[in-house]
Amino acid sequence: MGRREPLHGQWSSRIAFIFAATGAAVGLGNIWKFPYITGLNGGGAFVAVYLLFVLAIALPVMMAEVMLGRRGRRNPINAMRLLSEEETGKTRWQIVGWLGVLTGMLILSYYSVIGGWTIDYALRTVSGTFAQTNAAGVREQFAALAASPWRMLLWHTVFMLLTVLVVARGVEQGLEKALKYLMPLLFVLLLVMVGYAMTTGHFMQGLRYMFDFNISELSADGILMAMGQAFFSLSIGMGAIMAYGAYLPEDASIGGTTLSVALMDTTVALLTGIMLFPIVFANGLDPAHGPGLLFLTLPLAFGQMTAGTIFGALFFLLLVFAAWTSSIGLIEPAVARLVEHRQLRRSHATWIIGGIIWLLGLISIFSFNVLRDVRPFGRSLFANLDFFTSNILLPFSGFMIAVFAGWVMCRGSSTEELELGAGNRYSAWRLLIRFVAPVAMLLVSLHALGLLEKFLK
């Protein structure tokens, strides 16, 4: 079976694809989530395992996902149905597309709540709330936000509206073009903040925390979280990258483009850690504080540095933008599916899906206040949602993608699409996608479900 022409046009170049995919990849996952789960898992060993997973598992799966998207040239569900039929005569692999729709909606429901925190903090920084503040003051500010369902609801609503308005009008491209300028700016600002971190007197301590490999700090749960984070951060395992791959020009190299996206994404995460931990230690904060870490740390830095109000406001604003472009990747698979199958207008479909996600978001909001004591499996509802999506659903769809690309799809199809040549690079990819990635992801999913320990007993 040969290659297909794209149904709805394609990216003007591979650079356009790289920008769109980086827009989806760089978001709250890099700047909010990466440092706080690194902190929860004791630093260096977690970072090392994370980097290993990005390289050996997430990257090959990402290549597979782009490859399936480009070969299918349709939205993830239809692409997977078509390829499944082509390769097996049956349509059952479309389940991968369905899982993506579900996972994207669940993730966005809490992602939007944190996006809301970011808007709140951008405005607070502008109004000078954090000028000259100290650790106790910042803690109070954050506690007040977490305790107020109304304030969180307001900003969650605003964030969802931003997402829905862009997607309903189908003007994502506009936002992605803006990102061409905003992303480098975010990068520069991160470097400025790293510069500030160097002046705290705790820079080396921060670096050591991030890069000293101390295996005793790492638990089995930590390994699980590192895998989940690699998928979450690169936006793989839920169809977003597959959808973007559908528009990738024929002559663009899949290996090269995905490698650039992964490199940028990982650099942003690492820089965030390098700037954040020195500030954490300089102010006597606990790196293992949890989801509030970013919001407890940055305001301190902005409160102390010169022109901190401007830098701070700009930083949080850019973070809102980064989160916004990621949220589009999260909602798009569900919207595309509804449009194509119920013949709904794009705007109607977006409002319906957006409404459902907004409602689901209430669970996360309340888990920080009124439902604080509801803790199934010893975790808050918010943490459960994150655990279930990042550590179970994403690796599980990743597993299915790897099995499909490595075992179900015939060798000829993947060689033709990947164009890695017949040499070592293709063999390396094939080895990773057939053996290393599926086995690792299966182990991780089993452990997440608490089954691995049972088997080992």
Stretch that binds ligand PHE, among 46-54, 115-123, 324-332, 335-343 (CB under 6 A): 324-332
* H or E element that contains 124: helix 95-126
Residue closer to ligand PHE by CB (options 29, 76) is: 29
Kindly report the number of other CB atoms within 10 A of residue 129's CB atom.
17
Kindly report the number of other CB atoms within 10 A of residue 64's CB atom.
31
Residue type, 339: V
The interface mask with ligand PHE, positions 279-318, x = CB under 6 A, is: ----------------------------------------
Nearest approach in angstroms of CB 399 to ligand PHE is 16
Q: Applying CB under 6 A, does 25 fall inside the site for ligand PHE? A: yes
Nearest approach in angstroms of CB 135 to ligand PHE is 27
Nearest approach in angstroms of CB 100 to ligand PHE is 9
Nearest approach in angstroms of CB 111 to ligand PHE is 7
286's CB contacts (< 8 A; 6+ apart) are 39, 280
Which of 27, 60, 299, 354: binder of ligand PHE (CB under 6 A)?
27
Q: Applying CB under 6 A, does 329 fall inside the site for ligand PHE? A: yes
Q: Applying CB under 6 A, does 28 fall inside the site for ligand PHE? A: yes
43's CB contacts (< 8 A; 6+ apart) are 209, 210, 212, 214, 217, 277, 287
Kindly report the number of other CB atoms within 10 A of residue 95's CB atom.
15
Gap between the Cα atoms of 112 and 157, Å rounded: 8
Q: Give how far Cα 269 sits from Cα of 29, 35, 36, 366, 443, Å.
A: 8, 8, 11, 28, 25
Nearest approach in angstroms of CB 400 to ligand PHE is 16
Stretch that binds ligand PHE, among 156-164, 185-193, 323-331, 334-342 (CB under 6 A): 323-331
The answer to whether the CB of 64 falls within 8 A of the CB of 237 is no
Nearest Cα neighbor of 394 from 229, 222, 220, 218 is 229
Nearest approach in angstroms of CB 280 to ligand PHE is 21
Residue type, 319: L
Gap between the Cα atoms of 135 and 60, Å rounded: 42
Residue closer to ligand PHE by CB (options 35, 303) is: 35
Which of 62, 330, 339, 357: binder of ligand PHE (CB under 6 A)?
330
Stretch that binds ligand PHE, among 145-153, 170-178, 229-237, 335-343 (CB under 6 A): 229-237
Residue the block writes with tokens 């954490």 = 280
Return the structure tokens found at 267. Answer: 């650099």
Nearest approach in angstroms of CB 437 to ligand PHE is 18
Gap between the Cα atoms of 119 and 114, Å rounded: 9
Which of 112, 309, 326, 350: binder of ligand PHE (CB under 6 A)?
326
How far from the centroid of its chain's Cα atoms is residue 379's Cα?
21
DSSP state for residue 55 in the 8-state scheme:
I
How is 312-374 classified by DSSP, letter by letter? HHHHHHHHHHHHHHHHHHHHHHHHHHHHHHH---HHHHHHHHHHHHHHHHHHHHHHTTTTTT-
Residue closer to ligand PHE by CB (options 57, 238) is: 238
Nearest approach in angstroms of CB 143 to ligand PHE is 25
The answer to whether the CB of 54 falls within 8 A of the CB of 264 is no
Residue closer to ligand PHE by CB (options 48, 264) is: 264
Stretch that binds ligand PHE, among 44-52, 91-99, 141-149, 231-239 (CB under 6 A): 231-239
Residue closer to ligand PHE by CB (options 30, 200) is: 30
Q: Applying CB under 6 A, does 24 fall inside the site for ligand PHE? A: yes
Residue the block writes with tokens 């073009």 = 177
Q: Applying CB under 6 A, does 232 fall inside the site for ligand PHE? A: yes
Residue closer to ligand PHE by CB (options 138, 175) is: 175
How is 136-177 classified by DSSP, letter by letter? HHHHHHHHHHHH-HHHHHHHHHHHHHHHHHHHHTT-HHHHHH
Nearest Cα neighbor of 36 from 231, 273, 263 is 273
Nearest approach in angstroms of CB 30 to ligand PHE is 5
Q: Give how far Cα 59 sits from Cα of 237, 414, 418, Å.
A: 11, 16, 13
Q: Applying CB under 6 A, does 405 fall inside the site for ligand PHE? A: no
Which of 30, 41, 258, 414: binder of ligand PHE (CB under 6 A)?
30
Phi and psi at residue 340, to the nearest 5°: -75, -30
Query: Of residues 101-120, which lie at the interface with ligand PHE (CB under 6 A)?
Result: 107
Nearest approach in angstroms of CB 72 to ligand PHE is 18
Residue number of the CB atom closest to ligand PHE: 29
Q: Applying CB under 6 A, does 233 fall inside the site for ligand PHE? A: yes
Stretch that binds ligand PHE, among 49-57, 233-241, 432-440, 443-451 (CB under 6 A): 233-241
Q: Total binding residues for ligand PHE by CB under 6 A?
A: 15
Residues that bind ligand PHE (CB under 6 A): 24-25, 27-30, 107, 232-233, 235, 238, 240, 326, 329-330
